[in-house]
Amino acid sequence: MPMKMGWRWYGEGNDPVTLSDIKQIPGVTSIVWALHNKMPGEIWEIDEIQKVADQIHAYGFDMDVVESVNVHDDIKIGLPTRDQYIENYKQCIRNLSKFGVKVICYNFMPIFDWTRTDLFHPVGDGSTALFYEKDKIKGDYKAMAEYIMSFTEKYNMTFPGWEPERMAKLDELFKAYAPVTKEKLWENLKYFLEALMPTCHECDIKMAIHMDDPPWDIFGLPRLLVDEPSIDRFLKMVDDPYNCLTLCTGSLNANPNNNCAEIIRKHCDRIAFGHVRNIHHFPNGDFSEAAHRDCCGETGIIEVMRAYHDCGFEGYIRPDHGRQLWEEGPGNCRPGYGKYDRALGIQYMLGIWDLLDRLDEEKKG
């Protein structure tokens, strides 16, 4: 079975890109989806899943990958109430298995999901991209959160992981996480995964943790999945074929010392889902997301694709974020999830892939 190409879709009425748009991009077979109205900890009910399944299947796509079933803070903090939330998570896994879901992408980042300081930063050619300005993340977390949440208010759009209900009680959340050291967070992650593994086996669903983005502590909050040694530790900690990775090159390579292709070669059998994104680094530690073409950034997209190909990767890949192009901007485009640049990125990745297939065939004679 060859690698399968996916596209993250935020759902009808919640995403300016439609399924019929996606259908016209050569090579896409899988819709990466979620119930975006759900709070972390809630059960995803069968009838709610069925509704999205009908929409996705009507276009002939599969719905094998969910991104994300978000993890409740009580599980990350390790409160006694976590057991009930873990039970709910297991019920979500069982319900999703009825629809053939194979992979659940999630993250274990305290309080904040992906973090950027500018969502529409000029790249220099007229397009814009998500941008991280290091110095802005040193100060008060409130200014950063307010900036991200201003999009929610202005454009009536919510971002996964940035639920207004959670962001409204940021001080409380920071207090609750205060005793959670990095080691404690590792323990809580282990507890969570060990509890889920039997259900994952039963349902044939892989849990695929997303890398921390950016891959370093922010605002004093610990972050775990940041480099090769921490990925090694994670996979050994719960050494189970259903305990997998969402290997996000854009997240990992925000630290230029992380060699994504090497990590892919080392752990290919435990990567269930690949996010492919290119990063351009600035000497002062700032970074910008970049077009997928190898020379537009420093992540090494050709080597990343070659690593997956050499390993015979049969999981799912999606173009992670794209830039905002042409008429795309605030108000008509979800930052990072426009229509055009991700479609261009897919064609670039598949171009590399098809050529590697051809070269292999020729070698076989």
| Catalytic residue ranges | 210, 248, 275, 320-321, 337
Contact between 114 and ligand DNO per CB under 6 A: yes
Q: Which residues contact 88 (CB under 8 A, 6 or more apart)?
A: 41, 42, 43
**Total of chain residues touching ligand DNO, rule CB under 6 A:** 13
- Element containing residue 244 per DSSP (H, E): strand 243-248
Please identify, using beta-carbon distances, which residue of 7 and 85 lies nearer to Mn ion: 7
- Helices 82-97 and 182-203 cross at an angle (nearest 10°) of 30
User: Judged by CB under 6 A, which of 41, 110, 161, 345 binds ligand DNO?
Assistant: 161
Contact between 105 and ligand DNO per CB under 6 A: yes
Q: Which residues contact 284 (CB under 8 A, 6 or more apart)?
A: 134
**Torsion region of 154: left, alpha or beta (phi above 0 gives left; psi -120 to 50 gives alpha):** alpha
Please report, as residue ranges, which positions from 297 to 326 form the binding site for Mn ion (by CB under 5 A): 320
Contact between 67 and ligand DNO per CB under 6 A: yes
User: Judged by CB under 6 A, which of 27, 160, 255, 330 binds ligand DNO?
Assistant: 160
Contact between 128 and ligand DNO per CB under 6 A: no
Contact between 68 and ligand DNO per CB under 6 A: yes
Provide the 3-class DSSP secondary structure of residue 191: helix
Please identify, using beta-carbon distances, which residue of 68 and 95 lies nearer to ligand DNO: 68
Q: What is the DSSP string of 279-337?
A: EEE-TTS-EEEE-SSGGGSSS-HHHHHHHHHHTT--SEEEE----B-TT--TTTS-TT-
Please report, as residue ranges, which positions from 218 to 247 form the binding site for ligand DNO (by CB under 6 A): none
Stretch binding Mn ion (CB under 5 A), from 6-14, 90-98, 216-224, 243-251: 243-251
Closest CA to 273 of 329, 339, 209: 209
Q: Per-residue x/- marks for Mn ion, 17-56, CB under 5 A?
A: ----------------------------------------
Stretch binding ligand DNO (CB under 6 A), from 82-90, 101-109, 257-265, 310-318: 101-109
Alpha carbon distance 117, 130 (integer Å): 8
Q: How many other β-carbons are positioned within 10 Å of the β-carbon of residue 355?
A: 12
Give the residues lining the site for ligand DNO (CB under 6 A): 67-68, 105-107, 113-114, 160-161, 210, 320-321, 336
